[in-house]
Structure 1
Amino acid sequence: MSALVVLKSPARHGWYLTWLHTVRDVVAELDLGLLGVVAPSKGHGPDFLWPSPAGPRTTIEDDLAQVRRTDPGIVAAELAAQARRLDPRTVPDGLYRTLTGDPLAARDTLVAQQRLAWQALVAPLWDRIRGLLDADITTRSRQLADGGLEGLFADLHQRAVWHNDELHLTGLRHAVLDLRGRGLVLVPTAFGWPHLGIGPTDSTSASPPALVYPVLGAARLWERAVPSSAVSRLLGAGRASVLAETFVPGTTSGLAGRVGLAPATVSQHLSVLRDAGLVSASRRGREVLYRQTPLAAALLRGESP
């Protein structure tokens, strides 16, 4: 959904020009119909289309299933509110009737179109995105363990300040949200920079609200990892390319796809790089993520460690 916001207002999101160029041909053939109408270009949209993830291992199918379980009454109310924000003259008649008609049919249509949007816009980059999201979660978990909530929110976002046991969010409409023991889910996003968002804000909702913030190092997703000629001569071209690509954490198969080498070859390179202290490994469920160490980062930048 955040990717669609960027897509609908590209001039407001210069940060993502590289991604917009990458998906340009795909977007030209992508007809999202009703989803394209209800996805906001700015401001507010239907909350049920932005479900709070149950945890860091949530998959796209988990999220879509959560959207599909939304009560029809909630769907009808939120789509009606969205319809009031739209100018009917700018929406094709058929889509406007679907928007204001049977909520079950509208919900199922939106879920199907969300899946199409995922497959076209996000899935091709998901290995890199997921690696950066996992790195953010690891960093935030360490901040929480070391400094509590004050340490966690110290650099999460300039508009989020922890003060007197309350989280103060500036730049949003005035409201007070009592979590009532439900908790707050922190959701890093690759497509949200530089914005901060929260929802759902309905205090009667059983699910916890989600605070959506830009992932650490978001710019890295759109940079091409190219090792210097000196590092390539030192390590060999293949091993150097694998090392450079681990600036965004990834699995063996994911890194293999990024650098265009066989997984077995990448596995051998990672083993050597890990023995040399240039990459570290951490487990994500059944997968192992590899990422650069500070020594590798210094080497690739041509600096003294």
Structure 2
Amino acid sequence: MLQLLLSAEALARSRFVVSPLHEVVATLLAWGHQPRPDAEPWLARARRVLRRERLPLLETFAVEHGGYVPDFLCPHPEGPAPTIEEQLAQVAATPPERVAAELEALHRGRPSSGLAARQLSPAARALLEQGGEHLAARAAAELRRYWQLAFAPHWPRAQAVIEAEIGRQAQLLARHGSAALLGALHPQIRWDGRAVLIESRYDLTVEVPLLLFAPSLIAAGVGAAVDPAYGVEPRPPVIVYPVARHARAASALGADLGPLLGPSRAALLSSLRAPATTSELAAAHFLSPATVSYHLGILLRSGLVSRERRGREVRYRRTGQGSRLVSGGR
């Protein structure tokens, strides 16, 4: 159990963040072994990029069955919504001693935490021998390439869903207070009046100056990034938690169509502002093409969408009836 002790001042300073790199690094974690179903298409696409491209450091850091990923890969956000370039600059500027310490933890493992030792790749060892600054710069370059190929085309849509989640939590805070908000984020997170309690295999109690909460479309469960150098170079813990599936669907709706159509079909219908292919919709909604095809078939038979073939492409568009339903009859 993690117990993160918060004073009244620390609680007042705690906030939500949108962190692109936390989403990127989440695809390197063990969610690949048991991913959340609605994130699986995005995760599969990212892992294909990782296998196809020459990204030796990220391949070294990726884990399949639980393990440690160096913390410097996803630096603590300095603002509410840092850009990917701002975060990559933070990675490249990581102090060499921090890089060396985290690579040592990766190499030797953490027996007290049940984390096994892992071999560093020849590329990682060679860069580390040149100095931590060289490894940090290469890591930033590989993360940029990984981002451009696997995430950049889909990030605006993902960011909108995360921003909508933060908006919902802000409403909960305004109407019911901090205790209600902390108690409703996720079943693994509780508030006991003095500390945020997070179910974990780690046993740690620490007083923190504030907490950063990062909603995630990738994470299958709650993760807490507690700085191992805490107290020396204190950085506030980042609590990553999965955005609820129903909240993801609701954020995409222009009208409350979820109860009528089901959340996935409602989200697809609402997003068809312009014609789109099955693969485009699958990428935008983080669903498999087969799932999107199934839902589009139902919408097509209901007269809410139409389809047209152009060469090898089949594009779907909303019909007038579908548009009126989305706009509430307006």
Scaled by the length of structure 1, the TM-score of the pair is 0.66
- For residues 159 and 99 of structure 2, what CA distance do their matches in structure 1 show? 29
Matched, 1:108 2:157: no
C-alpha change, 1:242 and 1:79, in structure 2 (3 Å) is closer
Q: 1:208 aligns with which of 228, 236, 241?
A: 236
C-alpha change, 1:119 and 1:107, in structure 2 (3 Å) is same
1:256 Cα deviation from its structure 2 partner: 5.8
* Equivalent residue number for residue 215 of structure 2: 188
Q: 1:68-83 counterparts in 2 under 5 A? A: 68-83=92-107
- For residues 112 and 135 of structure 1, what CA distance do their matches in structure 2 show? 30
SS class of match (1:129): helix
- For residues 217 and 83 of structure 1, what CA distance do their matches in structure 2 show? 36
1:154 Cα deviation from its structure 2 partner: 2.0
Q: 1:173 aligns with which of 195, 202, 206?
A: 202
Q: 1:61 aligns with which of 85, 105, 108?
A: 85
- For residues 239 and 47 of structure 2, what CA distance do their matches in structure 1 show? 30
1:32 Cα deviation from its structure 2 partner: 1.3
- For residues 167 and 78 of structure 1, what CA distance do their matches in structure 2 show? 26
SS class of match (1:176): strand
1:47 Cα deviation from its structure 2 partner: 1.4
Count of equivalent residues: 242
Amino acid aligned to 1:115: R
C-alpha change, 1:69 and 1:4, in structure 2 (3 Å) is closer
C-alpha change, 1:138 and 1:52, in structure 2 (3 Å) is same
Amino acid aligned to 1:30: E
C-alpha change, 1:189 and 1:81, in structure 2 (3 Å) is same
SS class of match (1:58): coil
Q: Is the CA contact (8 Å cut-off) linking 1:157 and 1:196 kept in structure 2?
A: no
C-alpha change, 1:219 and 1:83, in structure 2 (3 Å) is farther
- For residues 29 and 194 of structure 2, what CA distance do their matches in structure 1 show? 38
- For residues 77 and 140 of structure 2, what CA distance do their matches in structure 1 show? 16
- For residues 214 and 131 of structure 1, what CA distance do their matches in structure 2 show? 15
Scaled by the length of structure 2, the TM-score of the pair is 0.62
- For residues 66 and 3 of structure 1, what CA distance do their matches in structure 2 show? 15
SS class of match (1:164): coil
1:49 Cα deviation from its structure 2 partner: 1.4
* Equivalent residue number for residue 58 of structure 2: 35
- For residues 84 and 218 of structure 1, what CA distance do their matches in structure 2 show? 41
1:93 Cα deviation from its structure 2 partner: 2.8
Q: Is the CA contact (8 Å cut-off) linking 1:79 and 1:100 kept in structure 2?
A: no
Q: Is the CA contact (8 Å cut-off) linking 1:177 and 1:203 kept in structure 2?
A: no
SS class of match (1:171): coil
SS class of match (1:140): helix
C-alpha change, 1:173 and 1:28, in structure 2 (3 Å) is closer
1:26 Cα deviation from its structure 2 partner: 3.8
After superposition, the C-alpha distances for 1:212-237 in whole angstroms (9 at most, x for unaligned) are 1112338958xx99xx9xx9xxxxxx
Q: Is the CA contact (8 Å cut-off) linking 2:76 and 2:235 kept in structure 1?
A: yes
Matched, 1:146 2:170: no
Q: 1:45 aligns with which of 69, 73, 89?
A: 69
* Matched-pair identity in %: 28
Q: Is the CA contact (8 Å cut-off) linking 1:190 and 1:218 kept in structure 2?
A: no
Matched, 1:13 2:41: no
- For residues 176 and 72 of structure 1, what CA distance do their matches in structure 2 show? 28
Q: Is the CA contact (8 Å cut-off) linking 1:34 and 1:99 kept in structure 2?
A: no
Q: 1:150-161 counterparts in 2 under 5 A? A: 150-161=179-190
Q: Is the CA contact (8 Å cut-off) linking 1:159 and 1:196 kept in structure 2?
A: no
- For residues 63 and 219 of structure 2, what CA distance do their matches in structure 1 show? 13
C-alpha change, 1:80 and 1:24, in structure 2 (3 Å) is closer
* Equivalent residue number for residue 271 of structure 2: 245
